[in-house]
Structure 1
Amino acid sequence: MKYGEINMKLAEALLERKNLQTQLASIGQRLQANVLVQEGDEPSENPQTLLQDALRLNTQLHRLIKAIHLTNAQAMSTHNRPLMDALNERDALLQQHRILQQTIDAASEKQNRYSNHEIRWVKTVSVGDLQQQADAVGMRIRTNNLEIQASNWHIDVIGLD
């Protein structure tokens, strides 16, 4: 579905956002490759046309992002709670998982000792306990993502008129 159509689902809008971001990045690379050419050469694509396309896509993208944000702020998830609560929970869980995983990685790093005179490093945390916590948070992330994704296919985007 495109913007003028009624009842675009939030999941469709998110896919379209990703598509527009990819197109914009591609045009940006093509634009950079064509704004300077050696004297006597012609650009392979018209930079003015590329620039106009980039500006048009940028306007479309940000109109869509605004509608997504407006929808997220007003929608209820399939678990009958504000979708923004689910999104905020996901962000917090992802950060929590990242912190746990970084701690596990740091504690699991092998310390090479070449002689008995070098400093011996000892762990100050239980990697097993941290891994259990990370696994539990990972499960919560998956459950939360299922709620969000299911909701996205039921919620109509608002603000695209």
Structure 2
Amino acid sequence: MKLAEALNARKELEARLTRLEERLHASARVQEGLEPDESPDALYAMLEKAAAALVEIVSRISRTNVETVVEGRILADWIAERDVSWRRLRVLQSALRAAAPSYDRHGGPGSVRSVTTFSTARRHAELDALALRINAIDARIQQANWETELL
């Protein structure tokens, strides 16, 4: 199985756990004298089976990410850099939105004027460079996912 296929399997198992949770909620309480549509015990058994499969696939994905080297770095390091870069990108975007001028409809001659405290041009350039870096890293990761056998 390729790493990319395992990632898809992980996503499907996580979705299955969510659906089982919803089904357990629906079967948790019924009107006195009635039976639930589904047996809670059967649902718990399915939950345990899906959870065990998820532990297995997540462990194998993690081992593969640590053992796979892409351009001199382990895949886990590329993933960490991409994830942190995404977080930095969102922070920069948020800061740039906060720095954007807002217009007070009631502002008159006596109103207080606000100014931006940093160079938005420099931060926009940083944002653009970061987005390009994320795309390049993600391309490496995606390629490795489809070329790498799951351990």
Same fold (TM over 0.5): yes
Match of 1:85 in 2: 77
Question: Which of these residues, 23, 35, 44, is aligned with residue 37 of structure 2?
Answer: 44
CA deviation profile, 1:8-27 (whole Å, cap 9, x unmatched): 11111000000000011011
**Inter-partner Cα distance in structure 1 for 2:118 and 2:105:** 21
* Aligned partner of residue 147 in structure 2, secondary structure: coil
Once the two structures are TM-superposed, the CA of residue 111 in structure 1 deviates from its matched residue by 4.2
TM-score norm. by structure 1 comes to: 0.86
* Greater percentage in helix: 2
TM norm structure 2: 0.91
Query: 1:32 corresponds to which letter in structure 2?
Result: H
Match of 2:12 in 1: 19
SS at match of 2:69: coil
Moved more, 112-121 or 17-26: 112-121
Q: Unaligned 5+ residue runs, structure 2?
A: none
In structure 1, give the amino acid aligned to 2:123.
L
| 2:93 pairs with one of 101, 110, 131 | 101
Q: Which runs of 5+ in 1 are unaligned?
A: 1-7
Which residue identity lines up with residue 117 of structure 2 in the other structure? Answer: T
Q: Aligned partners of 1:150 and 1:56: how far apart in 2?
A: 31
Q: CA RMSD in A?
A: 1.5
Contact 1:113–1:120 under 8 Å retained in 2: no
What letter corresponds to residue 115 of structure 1 in structure 2?
G
1:106 and 1:53 map into 2 onto residues whose CA distance is 47
Encode CA deviations 1:17-43: one digit per residue, 9 max, x unaligned.
000000110111110111111213321
Give 3-state SS (helix, strand or coil) of 1:153's partner: helix
Greater Cα offset, 101-110 or 57-66: 101-110
Could you tell which deviates more after superposition, 104-113 or 28-37? Answer: 104-113
2:104 counterpart of 1:112: yes
Post-superposition CA distance 1:90-137 (Å, at most 9, x none): 122112212211111111252425133332211112323212211110
Structure-2 separation of matches of 1:23 and 1:40? 30
Which of the residues 113, 118, 130 maps onto 1:137?
130
Contact 1:111/1:121 (8 A) holds in 2: no
Aligned length: 150
Structure 1 residue runs of 4 or more that deviate by more than 6 Å after TM superposition: none
The partner residue of 1:10 within 3, 14, 24 is 3
